[in-house]
């Protein structure tokens, strides 16, 4: 997955969940464009002040539920806009925070605070709640959130299914009964985005996508290359990799990020008696992993009757390595769990699966992930992969399997999967990769830049998920991103910011 729920007011939270498989056949762009244009043109957006902020404008755009029936049922997509601080605006920048499943409207105030000053000054920034999320008919299937955090990452024995398979299968069945579920995929969301462009009366747009938002941007580029002015893809998803390949790429990145966190907790920990994990933080953590693997902790209570497991620890750990502001909460939760109280671990694991406003993310996330993926590994294949990964990345790496493909082991085969994303006819595209990103590993940025004939890779040497969420104050990065978005072209090949 590619969560970006790491964005939270007052503590940047955002991740975007499983790394998704974008699926776009070479023949799709012309067909999709025709389907989009055959629908009645959208009317102009009627803007009004947003309830959360009078400085932001809110509205809706009607889109077809099924683009194969463009004049059939419609869906109202919730849209918001932050007018450029300097008017008239130089252009319009669309923003997607990732997930999939994140509410762009909820996150917009946080994104505005992180954006380079010149971008905020010159661009109207537009975002939206993708279909099935936020205020755009959110998918709700009744899955208990704790049931998704508690499955351990690895089966007890070889040849057994991935733990949590029964929960994932029940979720898939429940979601399959929702009328909108079959139409939740990245191609339809990209078509919705083009309807928003048309409703704004624009010939072209600029775009900034985080995490899963890089997949959505790539899908848009494949369908509507002539509608792009500039496009920044930050925290790049390896769009042409299978779910298995994505898990294999994510596992070492997650493990390395956790070890970086543990080694960095205290300078010279053996000489620092106040270090929260004692003189040997890695050993302390290994002991907790082993203990939770043998004996889960009691359920937190207050309506939560699921024991606290290694799955909760892994979920909280990925949250912590993705956004540095969560480190202190994670350290306290781990210390409490080592003393026998897992409530704080469960709380943090649940937060990782929530949007900014506390709304659940997982069901829409898995619907989009699995409806995009051409191949859904079996539960046993996924379990064997987790077992194999654990041999090399024993602390966190095996969780990449659950995080990347867990929901798809019980999901029906995609109805119209598309593969082999190779957009043609786009302007230069800027792809940003973090060398220490645990969610969308740096290898994905290298691969995504190569997908575009005009792709340019900008490298940020840093830890955490995406540059914007983890290092927005870096002036080197600000300079290159601002230059590109304002018409100065991409940075030279091989550009690296530290």
Helix/strand/coil for 313: helix
Cβ count within 10 A of residue 475: 9
The angle subtended at Cα 66 by Cα 64 and Cα 72, nearest 5°, is 60
**Predicted pLDDT at 7:** 55
Between 27 and 354, where is the model more confident?
354
**How many structural domains does the chain have?**
1
Residue 29 and residue 222 in contact, taking contact as beta carbons nearer than 8 Å:
yes
Distance of CA 89 to the CA centre of its chain: 29
Q: pLDDT higher for 33 or 486?
A: 486
H-run or E-run covering 29: helix 28-38
Task: Please give the Cα distance from 367 to 74 (Å, whole number).
Answer: 19
Task: Determine the pLDDT at residue 3.
Answer: 53
Alpha-carbon gap, residue 29 to 7, rounded angstroms: 32
Average pLDDT over every residue of 483-491:
97
**DSSP E strand stretches across 330-467:** 429-436, 455-463
What's the pLDDT at 5? 53
Q: Is the pLDDT of residue 360 over 80?
A: yes
Closest CA to 151 of 133, 132, 170, 138: 170
The yes-or-no verdict on residue 267 having pLDDT over 80 is no
Residue 10 has pLDDT above 50, yes or no: no
Residue-by-residue DSSP string for 233-267 = EES---TTS-HHHHHHHHHHHHHHHHHHHHHTSSS
pLDDT class of 403 with cuts at 50, 70, 90:
very high
Residue 204's Cβ-side half-sphere holds a number of Cα atoms within 13 Å equal to 13
pLDDT band at 419 (very low <50, low <70, confident <90, very high): confident
Residue 367 has pLDDT above 80, yes or no: yes
> pLDDT at residue 479 above 50?
yes
Q: What is the pLDDT of residues 154-197, one digit of tens each?
A: 999 999 999 999 999 999 999 999 999 999 999 999 999 999 99
Does the structure show a pLDDT above 50 at 104? yes
Tell whether the model's pLDDT for residue 325 goes beyond 60.
yes
Residue 272 confidence (pLDDT): 66
Give the pLDDT mean for 369-390: 97
Cα 129 to Cα 104, 155, 197, 203, distances in angstroms: 5, 36, 14, 22
Q: Is the pLDDT of residue 24 over 90?
A: no
Mean pLDDT of 267-271: 66
- Report residue 102: phi and psi, to 5°: -70, 145
More confident residue, 76 or 324: 76
For residue 183, give both structure tokens: 């139409």
What is the pLDDT at residue 250? 98
Residue 191 is predicted with a pLDDT of: 97
d(CA 58, CA 54) in angstroms, rounded, equals: 10
pLDDT at 1 over 80: no
Asked whether residue 2 carries a pLDDT value surpassing 60, the answer given is no
* pLDDT value, residue 149: 94
- The pLDDT confidence band at residue 417, using thresholds 50, 70 and 90, is confident
Which contacts (CB < 8 Å, 24+ apart) does range 350-353 have?
350/145, 350/146, 350/149, 351/5, 351/13, 351/319, 352/3, 352/5, 352/15, 352/149, 352/315, 352/316, 352/318, 352/319, 353/5, 353/17, 353/145, 353/148, 353/149, 353/315
Identify the pLDDT of residue 324. Answer: 87
pLDDT at 9: 41
| pLDDT confidence bin for 421, thresholds 50/70/90 | confident
CA distances from residue 227 to 120, 201, 349, 426, 482 in whole angstroms, order as listed: 22, 12, 39, 9, 20
**How far apart (Å, rounded) are the C-alpha atoms in residues 244 and 451?**
19
What is residue 65's predicted lDDT score, i.e. its pLDDT? 97
Q: How confident is the model at residue 18 (pLDDT cuts 50, 70, 90)?
A: very low
Helix (H, G, I), strand (E, B) or coil at 463: strand
Q: What is the CATH number of the domain that holds 11?
A: 3.40.50.1820
Give the residue numbers spanning the domain of 403: 1-498
Say yes or no to pLDDT of 454 above 80.
Answer: yes
Q: What phi and psi values does residue 392 have, to the nearest 5 degrees?
A: -105, -30
Q: Which helix (H) or strand (E) holds 222?
A: helix 212-223
Quick one: average pLDDT of 241-270?
Answer: 92
Considering only CA atoms, give the Rg of the chain: 22
Give 16's strand partners.
3
**In angstroms, rounded to a whole number, what is the distance separating the alpha carbons of residues 498 and 299?**
43
The predicted model gives 69-95 an average pLDDT of 96
pLDDT of residue 217: 97
Residue found under tokens 């309807």: 195
Inter-axis angle of helices 165-176 and 362-372, to 10 degrees? 90
Residue 271 φ then ψ, to 5°: -105, 5
Percentage of the chain lying above the pLDDT 70 cut: 91
Over the chain, what is the mean pLDDT?
91
């Amino acid at each position: 997955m590619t969560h970006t729920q790491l964005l939270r007011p007052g503590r940047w939270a955002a991740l975007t969940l499983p790394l998704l498989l974008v699926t776009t056949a070479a023949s799709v762009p012309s067909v999709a464009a025709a389907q989009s244009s055959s629908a009645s043109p959208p009317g102009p957006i009627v803007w009004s002040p947003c309830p959360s902020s009078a400085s932001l404008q809110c509205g809706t755009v009607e889109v077809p539920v099924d683009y194969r029936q463009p004049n059939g049922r419609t869906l109202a997509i919730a849209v918001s806009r932050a007018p450029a601080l300097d008017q008239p605006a130089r252009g319009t920048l669309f923003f997607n925070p990732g997930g999939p499943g994140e509410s762009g409207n909820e996150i917009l105030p946080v994104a505005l605070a992180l954006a380079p000053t010149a971008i905020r000054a010159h661009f109207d920034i537009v975002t939206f709640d993708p279909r099935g999320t936020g205020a755009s008919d959110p998918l709700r299937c009744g899955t208990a959130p704790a049931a998704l955090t508690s499955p351990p990452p690895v089966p007890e024995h070889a040849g057994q299914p991935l733990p949590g398979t029964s929960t994932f299968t029940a979720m898939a069945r429940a979601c399959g009964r929702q009328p909108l579920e079959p139409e939740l995929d990245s191609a339809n969301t990209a078509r919705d985005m083009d309807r928003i462009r048309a409703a704004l009366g624009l010939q072209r747009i600029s775009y900034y996508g985080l995490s899963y938002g890089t997949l959505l941007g790539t899908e848009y580029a494949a369908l509507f290359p002539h509608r792009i002015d500039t496009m920044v893809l930050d925290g790049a998803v390896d769009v042409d990799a299978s779910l298995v390949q994505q898990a294999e790429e994510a596992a070492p990145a997650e493990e390395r990020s956790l070890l970086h966190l543990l080694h960095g907790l205290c300078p010279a920990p053996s000489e620092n008696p106040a270090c929260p994990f004692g003189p040997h933080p890695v050993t302390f953590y290994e002991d907790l992993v082993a203990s939770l693997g043998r004996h889960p902790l009691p359920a937190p209570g207050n309506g939560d009757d699921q024991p606290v497991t290694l799955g909760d620890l892994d979920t909280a750990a990925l949250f912590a390595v993705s956004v540095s502001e969560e480190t202190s909460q994670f350290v306290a939760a781990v210390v409490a769990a080592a003393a026998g109280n897992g409530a704080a671990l469960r709380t943090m694991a649940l937060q990782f699966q929530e949007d900014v406003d506390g709304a659940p993310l997982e069901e829409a996330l898995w619907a989009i992930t699995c409806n995009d993926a051409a191949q859904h590994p079996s539960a046993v294949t996924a379990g064997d992969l987790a077992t194999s990964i654990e041999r090399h990345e024993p602390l966190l790496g095996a969780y990449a399997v659950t995080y990347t493909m867990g929901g798809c082991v019980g999901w029906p085969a995609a109805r119209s999967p598309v593969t082999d994303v190779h957009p043609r006819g786009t302007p230069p595209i800027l792809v940003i990769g973090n060398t220490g990103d645990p969610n969308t590993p740096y290898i994905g940025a290298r691969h995504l830049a190569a997908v575009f004939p005009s792709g340019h890779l900008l490298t940020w040497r840093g830890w955490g998920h995406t540059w914007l969420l983890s290092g927005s104050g870096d002036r080197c990065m600000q300079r290159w991103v601002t230059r590109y978005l304002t018409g100065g072209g991409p940075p030279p090949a091989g550009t690296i910011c530290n």
